């Protein structure tokens, strides 16, 4: 049997592949409930009453190049060689979580995507993939001889691009707490919490800390001014990072936004300054304006991507 997985900072998702090579009956398990990835795999196998595991492709929310895989936002650590031996696997493939996510993009249907900002794009050129959830994921797809080559990197940890005075004040405030202010420090669940604290301090407002969910609810349900300001700045930073990624990859055929936060603020993103910040690239503004931006709404896209990697 072939198994695919997607492991982030909060959840581990698994699914078996059917005869057509597609994930079926996926299951989500909380990372906090298991000491190791092996424990989670065994529980999934027991719950699905299947033990004949031969091949496993998994997307992990951390660097995946070395034998030792240490997650960025959860406590799990594992050795690829040891995991392969533990389950007597014929094949083990470990990729970054957004590499798996990126590989799903060509296989998503219209029902899996929402167009935030339309544009003609440049067919045949690379695609950019970025998304905020527990952390910030970044990848891309390069077309090559009729196939897609995913990029495996850690673009979520690039330096946060500060553009206007308030951006710089935010970076200065967070820099007093952190050794370095990466993009993930504001474009993630913890990032929303960081932005809330930073903007409150900058405005001289005494507030109790809020969780990311409370910030989003405060903005969208309660119309709280500070929470709305947080979402405004979040969208602007996301646009800046997405625009830089487009220029770096030459991804002028489109940006795809994944992660868990985007679907919660879809309508807000549409009316935000996300695209204004994304295309504000000086002499390349007109070219950037043609790049479409789409939100990924598929429930298990990284499992789809891992399935394509495993069956390629």
Instruction: Tell me: is residue 10 an annotated ligand-binding position.
Output: yes
Instruction: Tell me: is residue 5 an annotated ligand-binding position.
Output: yes
Q: Count Cα atoms within 13 angstroms, Cβ side, for 170.
A: 29
Instruction: Tell me: is residue 8 an annotated ligand-binding position.
Output: yes
Instruction: Tell me: is residue 202 an annotated ligand-binding position.
Output: no
Instruction: Tell me: is residue 217 an annotated ligand-binding position.
Output: no
Instruction: Tell me: is residue 9 an annotated ligand-binding position.
Output: yes
Binding positions are 5-10
Binding positions for ATP are 5-10
């Amino acid at each position: 049997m072939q198994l695919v997985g997607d492991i982030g900072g909060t959840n581990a998702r698994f699914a078996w592949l059917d005869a057509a090579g597609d994930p079926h009956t996926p299951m989500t398990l909380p990372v906090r409930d298991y000491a190791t990835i092996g424990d989670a795999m065994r529980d999934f196998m027991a719950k699905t009453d299947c033990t004949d595991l031969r091949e496993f492709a998994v997307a992990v929310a951390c660097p995946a190049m070395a034998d030792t895989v240490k997650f960025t936002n959860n406590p799990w650590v594992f050795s690829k060689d040891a995991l392969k031996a533990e389950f007597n696997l014929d094949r083990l493939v470990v990729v970054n979580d957004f590499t798996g996510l990126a590989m799903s993009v060509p296989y998503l249907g219209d029902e899996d995507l929402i167009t935030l900002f339309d544009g003609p794009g440049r067919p045949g050129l690379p695609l950019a993939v970025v998304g905020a959830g527990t952390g910030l994921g970044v990848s891309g797809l390069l077309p090559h001889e009729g196939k897609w080559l995913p990029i495996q990197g850690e673009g979520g940890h690039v330096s946060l691009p500060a553009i206007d005075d308030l951006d710089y004040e935010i970076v200065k405030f967070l820099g007093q707490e952190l050794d370095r202010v990466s993009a993930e420090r504001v474009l993630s669940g913890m990032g929303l919490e960081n932005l809330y604290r930073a903007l409150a301090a900058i405005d001289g407002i005494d507030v109790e800390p809020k969780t990311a969910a409370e910030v989003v609810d405060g903005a969208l349900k309660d119309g709280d001014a500070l929470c709305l300001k947080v979402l405004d700045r979040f969208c602007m930073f996301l646009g800046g990072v997405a625009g830089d990624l487009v220029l770096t990859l030459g991804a002028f055929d489109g940006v795809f936004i994944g992660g868990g936060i985007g679907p919660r603020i879809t309508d807000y993103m549409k009316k935000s300054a996300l695209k204004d910040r994304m295309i504000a690239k000086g002499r390349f503004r007109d070219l950037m304006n043609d790049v479409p931006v789409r939100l990924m709404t598929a429930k298990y896209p990284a499992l789809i991507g891992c399935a394509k990697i495993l069956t390629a």
